[in-house]
Structure 1
Amino acid sequence: MTDASSTPPVRSSAFAPLRQRVFLILWLATIIGNAGSFIRDTASGWLATDLSTSPAAIAAVQAAATLPVFLLAIPAGVLSDILDRRRLLIVIQVLLGLVSLTLMLLSAAGALTLTGLVALTFFGGIGAALIAPTWQAIVPELVPRTDLRSAVALNSLGLNVARAIGPAAGGLLITFAGATVTYAVDVATYGIVIAALVWWPRKGKASDPLAESFGGAFRAGLRYARRSKDLHVVLARAAVFFLCASAVWALLPLITRDLLQGSSGLYGLLLGAVGLGAIGGALALPTLRLRFSSDSLMLLAALVAASVMIALAAAPQPAIALALLALLGAAWITALTTLNGTAQSVLPDWVRGRALAVYLTVFNGAMTAGSLAWGGVAEATGLGTALLLAAACLVLTGTLFHRLRLPRGEADLTPSNHWPDPLVASPLAEDLTGDAAADRGPVLITIAYKVTAADRAAFLAAIHRLSTSRRRDGAYAWGVMEDVADPETLLEWFFVASWAEHLRQHRRVASPDADLQRELLRFHAGDSPPEVKHHLALPPT
């Protein structure tokens, strides 16, 4: 389903999620669906070399596939969090099937041009952008929490099984059966995935009076991503790695044809070798994580990928190139699963789809920018020089960013539910229920602490750490004030956009934030708990 894994060591059975029937059926279906996508992409990548000899034009096909994910991943993540995920997946699979059907018909008519190929690849990328966050977000629904990390790792394994099968099958199909049959096989795989999703006995969402609108959910997702320091580290590491490593993907069709003097069959075999290497890497990762940290694995992946690019620049024999691409697949899956898994582990469920979409935006933005940039470099300096420059970039950034440590992702991010319901006077109670709650705001929340002069510095340090979670979970402004008449009275205040958003904030507070709030209470010197008040803006008159 998705390409992700967990950062901490895996100690449960790696194949335990396959005992869950729904997970097993969807896992097998997505292997078939992903294999079909790789078959289509292999055919499109090779057809591009027949339609143009320009490295920049060939790289544009790769950019057309990743650019929509860069542009649309965040809105797609919002949709995955607020819509029925099963229905959303079915609709998008139908649309993707229509894109492949169009490619098949144009190819059969001999009317497929480079412009048409790029345009349809772009439309396929739109479907991929809309579907990716949703596939990632449904995993916790399919398995018990104890099997979640293994399920994420199996998704990675399944994707790479498809990566091993699809490109090789695509290369053979386009060589012996032609592009029309190749695209027809991809169309058939969408039917299988749609049938599995229709079969999935997923329970519908219960009605929720605090359900978010698209605009509100979009803002909440961006706000969370802006305030999550752990996510920032993952995004930075992903951007620099994939910006440099994208060179080999953007230029591989030309590497096959010009450096290796190969055909479409060799191109498919090279992509299949990447998949086989990735399978081996995915199977070895649980053991490697017990011996190496996530940061060491990222550095190792960068060095191996750079070495492969240097070796490819020397135009090796096809058999050696296959071995090199297998190494690249192992390095690629090591980096991808380490980063994806870390991102999964630092996100709470309520914002998972949106925040993962931010990660996908950075990933595909780096891939898109890298594809275009390395295509331009190859156009100006040649394939070999472009590969050497990309390898140097990967070694340099991998070494420098090794100091920016990835988060461990071991915190319990389930809601603590320790905030009591706010007290509301009876005249206002009816105005603050149902749809009306979303329209009333902003809301000012104040919390009054009594803090002695001796504890003041420690208290302020702790409460400023708490400000991050306040802003991340719903506040758009936050501060601390002192009472000029009583300097030991310190007032924490924050604004939330609406009453409904504040009630959602109650649901979002996680256990680490609850621990920090309990730490603040140690500094409170009053006889009664800190006084909490909610102030609602009056409507304009």
Structure 2
Amino acid sequence: MWTTFVSLRYRNYRLIWTSMLFSSTGQWMEQVALSWLVWTLTEDPFMLGAINGTRALPFILSPLAGVAADRIDRKKLMITTQFGVMLLSFSMSLLVYSGLIRLWMVFVFAILAGTTWAFNQPVRQAIIPNLVPKKHIMNAVALGSSAMNMTRLIGPIGAGFIIAMVGVEGAFAGKGVAYIAVIVMTFFVRVPPIVDRATRLGIRQDLWSGFNYIWNNRMIFTLLVMALIPIVLVMPYIWSFMPVFADQVYDMGPEGMGILYGAVGLGALGGSLTVASLGSFRQKGLLLMLSGIVMGAMLILFGMSTYFPLTLLVLVGVGFPQTFYNSLTQTLIQMNITDDVRGRVMSILMLDRGLGPLGSFFAGFMASIVGAPGAVIIGGSITFVLAILGFIFMPNIRKWDYNVPMAEVSNNS
């Protein structure tokens, strides 16, 4: 059992992990608050897809954020972006409380909040391998995912009840308070200095060298492309349409919406803890491919279900393989890149989220034609087919052995 939490033995990682609990709680509260606010202002499923797409759009800046993570003091960069998130959250709370809020303001907030998040994520991911021994990187990545998914269970449910009792402004204020704690904990983290190689080049050269590194590492490139599947084809259908399902399918308010989000979080927490417990299990590539297939199948069932208790079980079944898939993908990338390009590679992984708006806008468009349940079934079907094709035509990933370097597998496939 202790091997599941082995990375928490290290002080700096423990501080970062605890800060993730607070930051992720705030992020999930914002997710619920934004979706419910837009739904109450418009009652338009397309706008739900649009706001979630807009929130992810700034992640197209992730490559620049990665260059910053490899050039600037990483601790200072984290604190600066976290301070920006805190100010934005309190400002949004005041706008909603005063009654001055308008739809265009919500979209401006989504862009600004997404921008701070786009610069924060790559640097936070980049420092994790520096806080634990290499043999514990997979455990550290999976525990980080479990922290986010633990709050994915608590944050949405808590936000739903806060919205019902206090109003949307309470959820935004709660996120601001959470980030005060995040800033304090980050201040006490001792982050190893960055190697000075990146600072000897210009920004353009740094940016290009990151892309060139990925292009010349076929397996890393493949994993980054695979990371697109949940970002474009799964998450938009889950996070965009919960207000519609809660309000129109199950005739429930924000509390019901929070419970639906929480069910996904429960499954996601189980998935991340399972990855953290795998240790040196050899056939992680096979597990990665199978989790993609299960993810698509469960999404289809979610779109078909109209019985609330069954839907909750299905959403647990969506969250488990989604996080399993994400954690394994990120682990395989982290274990097979060098530290001097880690920030840039992880930022390009975050760039996948910048492509999330394609999925969000497509999901919103489909929902406006066939309804939210029909759009979810379509997204799940595409995911399922792509996962089956990947299982068949990507044996280099499917056969990857934990004890064999990925480049060696690639050369032998």
CA distance in 1, matches of 2:281, 2:86: 43
Q: Offset at 1:260?
A: 2.2
Q: Aligned letter for 1:57?
A: M
- Cα offset, 1:205, TM superposition: 5.4
Q: Deviations over 1:98-129 (max 9, x none)?
A: 11111111011111122211210111110111
Secondary structure, aligned partner of 2:4: coil
Equivalent positions of 1:29-428 (< 5 A) are 29-69=19-59, 71-202=60-191, 211-245=200-234, 246-285=236-275, 293-365=283-355, 367-402=356-391, 403-404=393-394, 405-406=396-397
Residues 293 and 254 of structure 1: CA distance in aligned 2, closer, same or farther (over 3 Å): farther
Q: Tell me: CA distance 1:348–1:390, structure 2 relative to 1, closer, same or farther (3 Å).
A: same
- Distance, in Å, in 2 between the alignment partners of 1:75 and 1:206 is 18
- Show CA shifts across 1:339-367 (max 9, x none): 111221221111111011112212441x2
Give the structure with the higher percent strand: 1
Separation (CA, whole Å) in 1 of partners of 2:158 and 2:401: 39
Greater length-normalized contact order (CA 8 Å, ≥ 6 residues apart) = 2
How far apart are residue 410 of structure 1 and its match? 5.6
Q: Output one character per residue of 1:248-297: Cα deviation in whole Å (capped at 9) or x when no partner.
A: 33222222222222211111111111111111122223566877834433
**Residue-by-residue CA offset, 1:515-537 (whole Å, 9 max, x unaligned):** x9xxxxxxxxxxxxxxxxxxxxx
Question: Which structure has the greater CA radius of gyration?
Answer: 1
Q: Distance between the aligned counterparts of 2:404 and 2:339, measured in 1?
A: 13
* Distance verdict in 2 for CA 1:298–1:39, change over 3 Å: same
Residues 294, 384 of structure 2: 8 Å contact kept: no
Contact 2:139 2:276 in 1 (8 A): no
CA pair 180-250 structure 1, distance change in 2 beyond 3 A: closer
Contact 2:71 2:194 in 1 (8 A): no
Quote how far apart the aligned CAs of 1:201 are.
3.6
For 1:199, the aligned partner's letter is F
Structure 2 counterpart SS, 1:382: helix
**Which shifted more, 241-250 or 84-93?**
241-250
Displacement after TM superposition at 1:313 (Å):
2.7
Q: CA deviation at 1:192?
A: 0.5
C-alpha deviations, 1:461-496, integer Å up to 9, x for none? xxxx9xxxxxxxxxxxxxxxxxxxxxxxxxxxxxxx
Length-normalised TM-score, structure 1: 0.70
The alignment yields a C-alpha RMSD, in angstroms, of: 2.6
C-alpha distance in structure 2 between counterparts of 1:132 and 1:96, whole Å: 12
Q: Distance in 2 between matches of 1:49 and 1:167?
A: 16
Change (3 A) 1:280 1:203: closer
- The normalised TM-score by structure 2 is 0.90
SS of the residue corresponding to residue 14 of structure 1 reads helix
Task: Work out whether 1:27 is the aligned partner of 2:40.
Answer: no
Structure 1 range deviating more: 47-56 or 233-242: 233-242
Structure 1: distance between partners of 2:203 and 2:328: 31
- Closer, same or farther: CA 242–40 of 1 in aligned 2, 3 Å: closer
Q: 1:307 to 1:206 in 2, by over 3 A?
A: closer
Deviations 1:195-224 (A, max 9, x none): 112222446558779633322211211211
- Percent of aligned positions that are identical: 24
